[in-house]
Amino acid sequence: MTALEPHRMDETEIHEFMKDHGYGVLSLADESVAHGVPVSFGYHEDEGLFLCLHRFDEESTKHEFIERTSKASLTVIDTESRESWGSVVVTGTLSEFETLTPSELTEKYVAGKRMQDNAWFPSFDVSEDDDVDSTMFAFSIDDITGLKGTGG
């Protein structure tokens, strides 16, 4: 078996992979212009996929692209070696909940709970910074697929 012989993940493997990896790249598009954004997410197989996007200043390219994107994708990857890896690609639509401070988000929604369960915030901690505007999005999943290398 080589790294070029991937195997499709079954539904259980996809759910476990998504719960174990709370970060990925959200791909957005405005006609012919694409924009990729590293994001943290919360996931539960019964409750769905939730994204929390932070706005550190008034101008936010990602928020502009979200407004113009009809269908988005989220790519989640993990690589242990050339032979042992996994990836899940989710496609669907984004729906904004509302803009909240991080502490309000956690208190108010199950989505906030899912974010605490498995989201990952790279290189900064916004959990106590209520000066950061955080907008919660529900990601309505149209399709979710996964591939993995088997490490052999």
Does pLDDT of 14 surpass 90? yes
Tokens of 16: 């476990």
Q: Which among 30, 40, 56 is positioned nearest to 131, based on CA atoms?
A: 56
pLDDT digits (tens, 9 = 90+) for 90-144: 999 988 876 555 566 555 555 555 566 666 554 344 455 556 666 778 888 999 9
Report residue 64 as tokens: 């502009």
pLDDT at 148 over 70: yes
Return the pLDDT at 123.
34
DSSP assignment of the chain: --TT--EE--HHHHHHHHHH--EEEEEEEETTEEEEEEEEEEEETTTEEEEEEEESSS--HHHHHHHH-SSEEEEEEEESSSSSEEEEEEEEEEEEEEEE-HHHHHHH-HHHHHHHHH---TT---TT-TTSEEEEEEEEEEEEEEEE----
Give the residue with greater pLDDT, 26 vs 40: 26
Dihedral sign (CA 54, 58, 62, 64): positive
How much is the pLDDT for 86?
A: 96
Q: Using one digit for the tens of pLDDT, what is the confidence trace for 27-59?
A: 999 888 999 988 888 887 887 788 877 766 667
pLDDT of residue 124: 40
Q: Domain of 124: which CATH number?
A: 2.30.110.10
pLDDT in tens, 52-86: 777 666 677 777 787 888 899 999 999 988 888 99
What value does the mean pLDDT take over residues 17-26? 92
- Residue 126 domain-assigned (yes or no): yes
Confidence (pLDDT) at 122: 42
pLDDT at 32: 85
- Supply the range of the domain harboring residue 88: 7-148
Assigned domain for 2 exists: no
Structural domain includes residue 1: no
Say how many domains are in the chain: 1
* Residue 132, in any domain of the structure: yes
Mean pLDDT over residues 6-32, rounded? 92
